[in-house]
Structure 1
Amino acid sequence: PRIVIVGGGLGGLALLLTLHRRGVPATLYERDTSFSTRAHLGAPLDLGWESGQRALRENGLQVNFEESADSEGRRIYDGAGTLHFSHGAGAQGGSGRPEGPPPPQRPEDSRPEIERAVLRKLLLDAIPPHLIKWDHALVSVRSLGHGQHELTFANGFTTVSDILVGADGANSRVRPLLSPATPIYTDVKFIDISLAPETTKLPELQGTVASIGKWTLLVMQNSRMLGSRMCGDGRIRTFAAIRESADWTLPSDPAEAKAVTKTYFAGWQQWMLNLIDYADESAIYIHALYVLPAGHSWPHVRGVTLIGDAAHLMSPFAGAGANLALLDGLELGLAL
């Protein structure tokens, strides 16, 4: 059968790799022109042993993952600087509050963290390049009957599938073949900012850098959050979470954008606000968080299905989206 996968995110790549390693031919079509198009986007991911790690383990990538991942560690503060929770190797309960549980001793109890771009590169490196067609943005799908579908891409290319898998994310072009569901806005926006590697070396930022260390740092108060982590390239990525309307946006001027962002965290400790004040003005992005209705499902349609965010888009706060996308890819690949 002609298996066509639309979307080269984690779920689509896990599916393609699972099929390839088992001798089942398939082709993946991705709208980005190359891996690097959006490699700067996405938060670090913590992968569970029976979900995300299982998809890697059963495709021969567990060792590669362990070499690229960091042990989990987390500190949670409020805006006044009080440490409420500390978990991971070397955790110090400086607030006098109980620390989190000791670091897990069994791999199945741990959730090591890996950068999304690094994880995606691990999957890509294990897949023959000719199986992925870059710069193919799907614009329409037409049923030909008997489970076959004709796909037309923005570059004019057309192809026919016997089995079509929509791994094309929140705004899936494949989903309407199965379901009328559309993403629902959660009233939460992430402002994605970062400290450039050279900026993290400034003397006035050493307190901020030390507070983050190798951890995931979360500062939460009054329905607002700063979440930060040191990336492998030396950049500190921060997501500033706020509640705003769907049409809300930041000023186009970077300095003004930072000033507006800072107003949402007024009164917080200066070492926290440094993450905004010194943010790289060439790398400010906004992400609106959407979800599909809980329990989203669809009646069987011959020759087409969905995985990952196309099937069950959710907010990132449970740390489940990437794990389920990888597991979807593995389980569907094994079924095929």
Structure 2
Amino acid sequence: MGRAMTALAYPMPLCVAPMMDWTDRHCRYFFRLISRHTLLYTEMVTTGAVLHGKRDRLLDFTPAEHPVALQLGGSEPADLAASARIGEEWGYDEINLNVGCPSDRVQSGRFGACLMAEPDLVARGVAAMREAVRIPVTVKSRIAIDDMEEWPTLEDFVRRVSAAGCTRFIVHARKAWLQGLSPKENRDVPPLRYDLVHRLKAEYPHLDISLNGGIKTLDAAAEHLGRVDGVMMGRAPYESPYLLADADRRFFGGTQAPLTRHEVVDAMLPYIETQMSQGAPLGAITRHMLGLFQGLPGARAWRRHLSENAHKDGASPEVVRAAAAKVPRDAGLQAVA
């Protein structure tokens, strides 16, 4: 478990999105070495998995990951409340409800983006979770789904759900098409409507509104922070993790110098040794580290060495040391991505 919850101070100017198959505990530990304050999210975990699955495997995390939020997928208020209670007991700092994922599997379970059409059900779920826990309960949504009008759908959804006590909404500024587009296409094809999220904050100034979708740099995040309370980034920090290195200074008032890329590698090695001693394969950890040296001399050799060797039988942390040796230790010292 990851005890010792962090008392989150909202608004939270920057967070990294929950991403299936990506933001597992190894990824979050790695990100935390780069930014001490950016809020991190788990992959979405269904209420069924929380209530009936192997909780140690699903929910365990290391205390170093704080602040970290648990994202739940589900729609039954009683199950959401029970799962939120377990998440709080496990030590998470926030419980987030997924009302944005468009996959077929999610729709068949009556959760994710299809819940945009059922704001009253979401409101009941939020109320049940808030009754069950003391930590914040938040919602991540789209702006609309399918043929629903964008602004009326978003405004009605937020009005109804906020009436149940939710004060923090993270809005992916794209419509989700539940029929005709794959989950991957739903991350790229529907046009971004940042203006609607900006309008939501203007019309609901008492709510904490964060914007998600297509934000690739800290400069772009900073521009939006003049109009909303927070920004959630996803694929950009995963593909080029070191862009988070300047987040603490820019958005959280941090004064401590970030670790260099090589220092991040050095700090990962004891974690890797511990996790491997507990049965974690080396490749399950290093796959999240491939983009660390993105844009620097030796980055390709680093990626290739990890990709070719981390999954071999008998692979040890020495594979990571050897890969890092292919990048000059002074590379990138003057540049935060």
Does TM, normalized by the shorter one, top 0.5? no
Structure in which a larger fraction of residues adopt helix = 2
Structure in which a larger fraction of residues adopt strand = 1
Scaled by the length of structure 1, what TM-score is found? 0.29
Higher relative contact order (CA 8 A, sep 6+): 1
Scaled by the length of structure 2, what TM-score is found? 0.29
Larger Rg: 1
